[in-house]
Amino acid sequence: METEIKAIDAVVNIWTAQALEGRPDRRPFYQKMRVPAELYEGISLEVMLERMDLAGIERAMLISAKVGVKGNPYCYHVPNELVRDAVQKYPDRFYGLAGIDPTEGMRGVRELERAVKEYGFIGAHGYPHWYELAPDHARWYPFYAKCVELDIPIQLQVGQSMIYDENYPRRSVGRPISLDSVACDFPELKLIGIHVGIPWTDEMIAMAWKHPNVYIGCDAHSPAYWPESFVKYINSYGQDKVIFGSDYPILRFDRTMQEIAALGLRPQPLRKLLRDNAVRVYGLKV
């Protein structure tokens, strides 16, 4: 897709075969989310870059995701070093985001600090549902404090959990209202509620409206199905509070950009969504 805006995708899963080695068999989930079968075994960084180029995406933030407590059958932790190596190989195309496991305590806090100070990562990322620990649970707080100290944003999945397995059901603990206490306790924390907050999108909008440092990540849900109130928010008074993401491969780069183009957003809000807000919030030098 041709676009004059060089987009920055703030939510991208590293998807090489090596990154998938430690993942459990999640094909039923991929099928539910309509991930193409060709991606089940992973793709190279070069193929990812080709697909980004075709979609008009200049840069992507790669997540060293941490999903679940070690020892459970659905857990996987992508090593920070794997993302570090990808960023070092293509420094003009990729940034690194450090995954957070809130049960790791200070060991995890030190790992986050190392990722930022030694590896050059620009932010943190967490999945509250996988731990059934809401964003305002005390176990997240040491990581929030470290993010403030390091002056980096943290992304947290909000909205409902899309995971269901009769042997390992995960409760939806990410109501956007749970960000309220966090933002009150850490007013300097740059906090991004990703996945749009669906089905509580209006609640997520309320949090971003109330708190200067709360933002909304527009990933994981196809733009063609975004709630009308959210599209209006992006196009008007919320234009400075939204950050583009795909959660690739959950959403394809090309289709996502095409669906955003079809929303008919005004030029300035569109540019802020696709690029400028990420540059400002993450302090990128581009």
**In this predicted model, what pLDDT tens digit does every residue of 244-265 receive, in sequence order?**
999 999 999 999 999 999 999 9
What is the C-alpha to C-alpha distance for residues 171 and 29, in angstroms, rounded to an integer? 16
State the pLDDT at residue 1.
42
State the pLDDT at residue 170.
75
**Mean pLDDT estimate for the chain:** 93
List of residues 6+ apart from 228 with CB closer than 8 A = none
User: Which parts of 101-200 fold into alpha helices (H)?
Assistant: 105-117, 128-131, 141-150, 178-185
Which amino acid, one-letter code, is at 124? Answer: A
Taking the mean position of all CA atoms in its chain, how far away is CA 168? 23
- Residue 163 belongs to a domain: yes
- Residue 269 belongs to a domain: yes
- Per the structure, the count of domains in the chain is 1
Which among 82, 46, 48 is positioned nearest to 65, based on CA atoms?
82
Question: 175: domain CATH number?
Answer: 3.20.20.140
The model's pLDDT over 29-41, given as tens digits with 9 standing for 90+, comes to 666 657 777 788 8
What angle, rounded to 10 degrees, do the helices at 105-117 and 141-150 form?
Answer: 20
- Residue 127 belongs to a domain: yes
Could you tell me the residue range of the domain that residue 33 belongs to? 7-282
The reported pTM is 0.94
- Residue 2 belongs to a domain: no
What is the C-alpha to C-alpha distance for residues 271 and 5, in angstroms, rounded to an integer? 6
- Residue 74 belongs to a domain: yes
Confidence of residue 171 (pLDDT cuts 50, 70, 90): confident
